[in-house]
């Protein structure tokens, strides 16, 4: 067993998370009481008797480590007691689904102090309220409390603060969470390698997607962090392309298109990988794609080198733009001085999204404080604003895209058109887009790159050859 698997065979640290959330509430002046959270319910598809694909509620998982639907938890803050409530056995369900986890098995598996049945939630809430002289507060999430849950025994119920506190607490990951993210990355890296291999005989994007998903499932990541993006040729210019059903053969040349961008990650016990790679379909990148790949890789490597606790994310993002500008100037796609191009935000035409986002139980994880109303186009889609704390995990995913819909308005703009050389640009439309995305754990003095998928030009070309 690897040391990673050994760590992951221990319990998910739910109790430590409950304590940190209670501290977060206290720091905002809220003392309590009890924290109450519910798991996702089993739901049926409209007009059908099959269940909706199950996705555990993240706040509930964070304080329980439990993937069971229809469960609940209570954290008694003062007594420091975490109780998991599981559904009572229903004979009808056993006929179809077999015996569920017993309370004793659940106590063995999860980092909780007690396991009871969900029928005992109200009695437990009443006990906590009484033991605090009925003067304490219950915290829950407004839209995630079932009918029949009785908070009246508490002097106050706060339904608006808990969600925000959990989201903020989730930014800093403990070593167990980092291990889960590393595991999701290890599996997804295998998926990326198999996807490249599959491309050699594939005729359609969907065969490449299938190879990725099959590898993830076979290695323990049954769910995807998000729908994979498998974009051949100019489809790579669409940031969240999701059709994944185009032929790899160009109908006019009868040759395979130049390259594929694959942005895909598997989810391991609710923790997400989010990895992007680009590779050639004919063994070697075209000279133009190679030039763009080199710039994007330089953007990524230099930005990663800047990372450590306290770095201002906006500075890293702006630095990526500086490298893009220098590279595009050198290729002759841009004209003018680096500072002028930066100030006029011309590089946004080629790199229109943010450099990255927090990663955890959600692909676009909580706590980033983006400002989508920002009038500065360079920062509008930056999903993380401010300084990065040690323990956070963030994606670094610069890209350069040749998307007519985005670039043409710049070419038509009387003030900006002088900065773009349309004749040179003409040779690059076929590149589509190149993005390279890794998942980085921020530490006190630097960083730890969790992503192991092949990335250098040589590695990628030799894998694709």
Residues near ligand GLY, by CB under 6 A: 226, 263, 274, 357, 363, 397, 437
- Residue 420 vs 440, nearer CB to Mn ion: 440
Q: Which of residues 430-459 bind Mn ion (CB under 5 A)?
A: 437
d(CA 92, CA 295): 60
> What does the radius of gyration of the chain's CA atoms come to, in whole angstroms?
25
CB of 274 to ligand GLY, least distance (A): 5
CB of 186 to ligand GLY, least distance (A): 18
CB of 320 to Mn ion, least distance (A): 14
Best CA proximity match to 300, nearest among 416, 179, 399, 161: 399
Q: Which of 194, 209, 263, 438 binds Mn ion (CB under 5 A)?
A: 263
CB of 57 to ligand GLY, least distance (A): 21
Contact segment (CB under 5 A) with Mn ion among 7-15, 125-133, 240-248, 272-280 equals 272-280
- In the list ligand GLY, Mn ion, none, the entry touching 319 (Cβ below 5 to 8 angstroms by class) is none
Question: Is residue 300 involved in binding Mn ion (CB under 5 A)?
Answer: no
DSSP letter at 225 equals S
Local structure of 336: helix, strand or coil = coil
- In the list ligand GLY, Mn ion, none, the entry touching 267 (Cβ below 5 to 8 angstroms by class) is none
Phi, psi (5° rounding) for residue 146? -75, 155
- Residue 77 vs 211, nearer CB to ligand GLY: 211
Which residues in 265-312 belong to E strands, given as ranges?
266-268, 271-272, 275-280
Angle at 450 between CA 209 and CA 179, to 5 degrees: 100
d(CA 439, CA 435): 13
- In the list ligand GLY, Mn ion, none, the entry touching 118 (Cβ below 5 to 8 angstroms by class) is none
d(CA 266, CA 223): 6
CB of 355 to ligand GLY, least distance (A): 11
- Residue 111 vs 167, nearer CB to ligand GLY: 167
Token pair 């199950």 is found at: 54
Token pair 């509620």 is found at: 57
Best CA proximity match to 19, nearest among 72, 63, 70: 63
- In the list ligand GLY, Mn ion, none, the entry touching 429 (Cβ below 5 to 8 angstroms by class) is none
- Residue 324 vs 359, nearer CB to ligand GLY: 359
Q: Which of residues 354-413 bind Mn ion (CB under 5 A)?
A: 395
- Residue 20 vs 383, nearer CB to Mn ion: 383
Best CA proximity match to 173, nearest among 355, 354, 38, 361: 361
Question: Is residue 270 involved in binding Mn ion (CB under 5 A)?
Answer: no
Strand-pairing partners, residue 72, are 38, 85
CB of 150 to Mn ion, least distance (A): 42
Do residues 73 and 83 touch, judged by C-beta distance below 8 A?
yes
- In the list ligand GLY, Mn ion, none, the entry touching 392 (Cβ below 5 to 8 angstroms by class) is none
Q: How many CB atoms lie within 10 A of CB 24?
A: 18
CB of 232 to Mn ion, least distance (A): 17
- Residue 26 vs 240, nearer CB to ligand GLY: 240
- Residue 261 vs 378, nearer CB to Mn ion: 261
- Residue 38 vs 263, nearer CB to ligand GLY: 263
Do residues 154 and 160 touch, judged by C-beta distance below 8 A?
no
Q: How many CB atoms lie within 10 A of CB 223?
A: 17
Question: Is residue 274 involved in binding Mn ion (CB under 5 A)?
Answer: yes
- In the list ligand GLY, Mn ion, none, the entry touching 226 (Cβ below 5 to 8 angstroms by class) is ligand GLY
Do residues 126 and 153 touch, judged by C-beta distance below 8 A?
yes
Best CA proximity match to 260, nearest among 298, 291, 228, 307: 228
- Residue 111 vs 263, nearer CB to ligand GLY: 263
d(CA 212, CA 201): 14
Site residues (CB under 5 A) for Mn ion? 263, 274, 276, 395, 437
């Amino acid at each position: 067993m690897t040391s990673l698997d050994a760590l992951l065979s221990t319990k998910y640290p739910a109790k430590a998370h409950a304590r940190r959330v209670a501290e977060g509430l206290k720091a905002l002046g809220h003392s309590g009481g009890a924290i109450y959270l519910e798991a996702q319910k089993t739901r049926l598809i409209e007009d059908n008797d099959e269940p909706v694909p199950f996705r555990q509620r993240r706040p509930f998982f964070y304080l329980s480590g439990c993937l069971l639907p229809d469960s609940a938890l209570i954290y008694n803050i003062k007594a420091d007691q975490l109780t998991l409530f599981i559904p009572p056995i229903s004979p009808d369900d056993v006929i179809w689904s077999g015996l569920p986890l017993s309370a004793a098995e659940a106590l063995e598996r999860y980092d909780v102090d007690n396991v009871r049945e969900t029928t005992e939630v109200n009695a437990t809430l009443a006990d906590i309220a009484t033991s605090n002289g009925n003067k304490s507060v219950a915290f829950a999430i407004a839209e995630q409390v079932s009918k029949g849950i009785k908070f009246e025994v508490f002097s106050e119920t706060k339904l608006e603060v808990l969600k925000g506190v959990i989201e903020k607490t989730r930014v800093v990951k403990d070593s167990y969470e980092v291990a889960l993210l590393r595991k999701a990355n290890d599996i997804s890296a295998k998926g990326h390698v198999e996807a490249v291999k599959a491309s050699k005989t594939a005729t359609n994007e969907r065969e490449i997607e299938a190879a990725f998903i099959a590898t993830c499932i076979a290695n323990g990541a049954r769910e995807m962090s998000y729908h994979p993006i498998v974009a051949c040729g100019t489809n790579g210019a669409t940031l969240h392309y999701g059709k994944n059903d185009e032929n790899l053969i160009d109908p006019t040349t009868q040759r395979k298109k130049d390259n594929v961008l694959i942005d895909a990650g598997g989810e391991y016990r609710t923790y997400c990988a989010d990895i992007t790679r680009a590779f050639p379909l004919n063994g070697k990148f075209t000279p133009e794609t190679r030039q763009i790949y080199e710039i994007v890789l330089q953007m990524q490597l230099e930005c990663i080198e800047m990372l450590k606790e306290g770095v201002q994310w906006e500075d890293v993002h702006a630095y990526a733009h500086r490298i893009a500008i220098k590279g595009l100037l050198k290729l002759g796609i841009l004209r003018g001085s680096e500072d002028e191009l930066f100030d006029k935000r011309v590089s946004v035409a080629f790199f229109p999204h943010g450099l990255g986002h927090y990663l955890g139980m959600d692909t676009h994880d909580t706590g980033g404080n983006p400002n989508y109303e920002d009038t500065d186009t360079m920062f509008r889609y930056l999903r993380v604003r401010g300084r990065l704390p040690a323990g956070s995990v963030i994606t670094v995913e610069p890209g350069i895209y040749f998307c007519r819909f985005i670039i043409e308005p710049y070419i038509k703009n009387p003030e900006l058109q002088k900065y773009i050389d349309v004749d040179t640009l003409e040779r690059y439309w076929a590149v589509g887009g190149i993005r390279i995305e890794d998942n980085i754990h921020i530490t006190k003095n630097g960083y730890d790159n969790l992503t192991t998928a092949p990335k250098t030009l040589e590695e990628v070309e030799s894998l694709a050859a």
